[in-house]
Structure 1
Amino acid sequence: MKKLMTLFLALLVSLAVLAPSAQAADNQLEKIKEKGTLVVGTSPDFPPREFYIINDKGEKEIVGSDIALAKAIADKIGVKLELVTTDFNGVIANIQTGTVDLGISGFSWTQAREEVMDFSVGYSQETGDNGYQGLLVSKETADKFKTLDELKAANLTIGAQGGSIQYELALQATKPTNVKQYGTLDAAVLALNAGDIQAMVVSTSSAEPLVAAFDNLTILPRDAFDLDPENKYANNVIGLPKNHDNADLLKVINEVIETAIKDGTMEKWETEAKALSTKALEVE
């Protein structure tokens, strides 16, 4: 009996010793610190959030307000930032599989996404002066419609980026057979300019640099063509793999976001990114 009691006590001690180390092994923040890099998924075709520029060294570089936020999170943790670039659907897939530590690509909350990923607090709202979910069209097309019902009745072909909120809104704005999805925002813009589609569903903050760069494009007015009038999808969030121990990592992320909003850094990042995205498109 004494031997059994001794073995039982030894087992309890070993479990007590192993439990903290097992917990640490599952802690995402500790894993990131251990490897020394924060791996972030993004789709760099969404100015001013994330996009390419040619920097002073003549090299392609990914910049934008989302990228500035990602760098601030990496700095707060004390690690290097590593960007993994794919199309938008690829970012979501990489979050789901845990290929990346987090994804930042102008995400909005949806019920479907919440089922497969964890979210940070919101960091940028597409409301008020910051814009809305609307329609980018040629100026020639804009003159033909005064209401969304008129546009729907015209059976226009509407484009949007696959996997995005804008794609879901496009399906609501017209018949599904009239919607074309594109892997990147750039591809959809090319299709619009080529006349392959007659309108694009866009976040208007992303459309503003396009309007500045292309004289033939315009955004339909908010009062008649706001596709998300209740601002259901207005808030941008960061996505993390579900079923991971994200509590400590989310605490750091949310602290960075809340501080950046409070001290005006977030607004500064967005202002700088808008100016840079307009300049980048003008060069193209």
Structure 2
Amino acid sequence: MTRISIGRLLAEATQRLDAAGIEQPGREARLLLAQALGTDMAGLIRLGREALAESDRFEALLARRCQREPMAFLLGSCGFWSLDLAVSEETLIPRADSEAVIEAVLAAIPDRSRPLRVLDFGTGTGCLLLAVLSEYPAATGFGIDLSPGAAALARRNAASNGLGERAAFLCGSWDAAIDMTADLVLSNPPYIPEADLPSLMPEVRLFEPARALDGGGDGLTAYRALVPALHRLLAPNGLAVFEFGIGQAPAIASLATEAGLDVRAVRADLGGVDRAITLGWREKA
């Protein structure tokens, strides 16, 4: 067991993270040390830079981060909307960009008391479904994912956030496991064009599941399955809200038109990039 001052640990770790190409290396060094010490950032400050700390666990975490393993995997969880969600290599790590989907839902359905029936395809950690349920206390929903590990993780996240009684999770390929209609259909499907996968940052390319990223040749394979399926999944006054990649809105709108749906809204993420599309049944003239 090696003990060294917190100040020295942070200085050396910051240099190593910077050399590994990590943005904000000082902040990440503090997060990793807090994790190693079983405290939080405030607790780390209270200890002070002169305090001694056992460095072996910190070294193990630091080595993994220098190999570009995502910080969320090292910490074991991440925040999304108002939730704290466990993460694993079975799923994508929830990102702030996806909160545009939740904002789109809130804008489209202002009545928070509605007893919505919700379906979430490619649920992953369950982040979209659980965030919606947290905002609509009378809503219930199903999350569907191809991965049994993802479905199990989402189930645990529902329980840990007090939503387990209103959410259920199933394994299946898109709508094949579902025979019901919903008031709201959600999805953040794979939408990265196959040719773009090698250029993704190492944290994504090397550690997150390719099946949740690979959208086929043009990135639209999943939408070609999901949008036509809305014909049987979507209730008469229902809505679908999908996340999508840069520049994909016109193609998804075309698929919607073919399926008898209209685009009700397109919403940007915090970076100003169009990210969520809301679809509903075509209104009669």
Query: TM-score by structure 2 length?
Result: 0.29
- TM-score between both structures, scaled by the size of structure 1: 0.29
Name the structure where helix makes up a greater proportion of residues.
1
Identify which of structures 1 and 2 has the higher relative contact order when contacts are C-alpha pairs closer than 8 Å and 6+ apart.
Answer: 1
